[in-house]
Amino acid sequence: MSYIEIRNIFKIFGPNPQAALELAKSGSDKEEILAKTGHTVGLDDVSLSIEQGETFVIMGLSGSGKSTLIRHLNRLIDPTAGEISFGGENILAMDIPTLNAFRRKRLGMVFQRFGLLPHRNVMDNVAYGLEIQGTDRKTREDIARKWIERVGLAGYENKFPDQLSGGMQQRVGLARALATDPEVLLMDEAFSALDPLIRSDMQEELMKLQAELHKTIVFITHDLDEALRIGDRIAILKDGKLVQVGRPEEIILNPADDYVQAFTRDVNRGKVLRAKSIMEPTTGTISGDQADTSQVVRPDTVLDDILPMALASDQAIRVLDRNDKLIGTIKRQQVITALSHSPAN
C-alpha cells in the first residue's frame, strides 16, 4: 500500500449532497447533475496512490477540482464519500484535536496567494507552525532563522509581508511550511502567482530542497510545463474526474485522450523526454572500439542534448547506466520521431 491512499473520493457542493451523490455514482456527469439537482460536483470518483518521497503533481484547468482535491488531504474540505489514509491511518475518522495534531506534526501547506499573516513579520510567520505546536520562543526562532536563511531571506526577519515582493513572500510561505519538518508538503498552485522568471527560480529551489529533504510533495498546478519539470508523477484532472496518472514521459508519449493530448501539444518535448523513454532496450557490454564516449548518453539525458549527437553521426547512440552497462540504443530516426509531434520546434 502506498503512503497516501485516496479511494473513490466524491465531493458534491450544495445543500443536499446525498441525492446528487447517487447520480454521480451511477455515472451521470457534472453538467447533468448540475441541471437536475443544482449541485456542483467537485470531485467524481477520484482514486490516487502517492508514494513516500515522491513529488506528485496534480494538474488541471480551473474548475477541474484540483484545489478541492488537495484540501481533502488535510481535511480543509471533507469528502461527501470515499476514503483517505496516510500510512494506513484513516484521516477521515479523526476527531478535531487528533486532526489538529496530525496537521501540526505531519503536514505543511503552501498557498497560491501565500496566505501569510499580514500582522506578523517574516520571523513570526515562519515560526507560526511551531508556535501552534507550543514550541518555546527560543527554539522556534532558532529553527525559523535556519529556514529563513535556507530560502535566501537572511536579513529580512523583521520585515512584514507587505514589504516583500511576491517571490520573497512565497519563500516565506515555503520556509513556514518546512519549519515544522512535515512529512508531506502540500503546495496549492504555489508558484502560479509569480512572474515567469521568479517561478522558474522557485521551481529550481524546490527541486534542490527536495533532493536533500525527500519529502512527499503534492503539488497543484495548471501549467503542464511546471508539472513536467518538477513532477515524478502527474495526475490530470478534468471536471472532477481523473483522466490520467503517469510519469511525465508516459503522459506525453501516450496521452490518455484528446483532452490530455491538447495539453501536451505545446510542450517542448526536447526538454521533457529522456533517453530511457525512447531508447530501444538492449543488453550486452561495451567492446573496446565502442568505448568512444562521444556517442554515449545517460538514461536521464533529455532529447535536446541527444539531438546534436544524433545529427553529428550516423552511428546509433548508446545509453549507459550508472555502472556503464549498456541498456539501450537510440537511432537518429527515433530522436526525430519523438520530437516530431511538437509543432514549430
Partner 1 sequence: MFPEQLNVPLGKWVNQFVDWLVINYGAAFEAFADSLLTVLVALEQVLRGAPWWLVLIAIAAITWHASRNWKLVLGLVVAMFVIGTLGLWDKAMQTLALMIVATSLSVIIGVPVGIAMAMSNRLRAIMLPILDTMQTMPSFVYLIPALMLFGLGKVPAILATVIYAAPPVIRLTDLGIRLVDPEVLEASRSFGASRKQILFGVQLPLALPNIMAGINQTTMMSISMVVIASMIGARGLGEQVLMGIQRLDVGAGMEAGIAIVLLAVVFDRIGQAYGKRSQRTSSGEDA
Among 43, 46, 91, 116, binds partner 1 (CB under 8 A): 116
Of residues 164 and 278, the one with the C-beta less far from partner 1 = 164
92 lies in the site for partner 1, by CB under 8 A: no
CB of 131 to partner 1, least distance (A): 8
100, HSE (Cβ side, Cα atoms, 13 Å): 7
- For position 117 contacting partner 1 by CB under 8 A, the verdict is yes
CB count within 10 Å of CB 291 equals: 10
The interface region with partner 1, picked from 3-11, 116-124, 229-237, 290-298 by CB under 8 A, is 116-124
6 - beta bridge partners?
48, 84
Q: How many residues bind partner 1 (CB under 8 A)?
A: 36
104 sits near partner 1 (criterion: CB under 8 A)? yes
Beta-strand runs (E) in the chain: 4-13, 40-50, 55-59, 81-86, 89-90, 107-110, 184-188, 216-221, 233-238, 241-246, 280-281, 296-297, 317-320, 326-330
Extract the runs of DSSP E, i.e. beta strands, from 79-136. 81-86, 89-90, 107-110
Nearest CA among 144, 202, 154 for reference residue 177: 144
Helix or strand (DSSP H, E) at 300 = none
Q: How far is the CB of 151 from partner 1 (least distance, A)?
A: 17
CA dihedral 102, 219, 76, 101 (to 10 degrees): 10
Stretch touching partner 1 by CB under 8 A, among 121-129, 254-262, 308-316, 320-328: 121-129
Q: By CB under 8 A, is residue 133 in contact with partner 1?
A: yes
Q: Which helix (H) or strand (E) holds 256?
A: none
Q: How far is the CB of 65 from partner 1 (least distance, A)?
A: 17
25 binds partner 1 (CB under 8 A): no
| CB nearer to partner 1: pick between 28 and 180 | 180
Q: Among residues 342, 337, 297, 287, which one has the least CA distance to residue 320?
A: 297
Helix orientation angle between 303-312 and 332-340, rounded to the nearest 10 degrees: 140
CB of 129 to partner 1, least distance (A): 4
Residue from the set 74, 80, 329, 334 that interacts with partner 1 by CB under 8 A? 74
Q: Which of 129, 240, 246, 255 binds partner 1 (CB under 8 A)?
A: 129
Strand, coil or helix: 185: strand
Contact flag: residue 138 with partner 1 (CB under 8 A) = no
Encode 107-125: b = buried (16+ Cβ within 10 Å), e = exposed. bbbbbbebebeeeebbbbb
Among positions 176-205, residues that touch partner 1 (CB under 8 A) are: 180, 186
Does residue 76 touch partner 1 according to CB under 8 A?
yes
- Collapsing DSSP to helix, strand or coil, 16 comes out as coil
* Interface with partner 1, residue 112, by CB under 8 A: yes
- Which position among 53, 63, 87, 115 is part of the footprint of partner 1 (CB under 8 A)? 115
103 binds partner 1, rule: CB under 8 A: yes
Is residue 80 a contact point for partner 1 (CB under 8 A)?
Answer: no
The distance of Cα 142 from the centroid of its chain, to the nearest Å, equals 29
Q: How many CB atoms lie within 10 A of CB 135?
A: 18
Q: Which member of 14, 29, 34, 102 binds partner 1 (CB under 8 A)? A: 102
162 forms part of the interface with partner 1 (CB under 8 A): yes
Q: Which residues bind partner 1 (CB under 8 A)?
A: 71, 74, 76, 97, 99-105, 107-109, 111-119, 121, 128-129, 132-133, 158-163, 180, 186
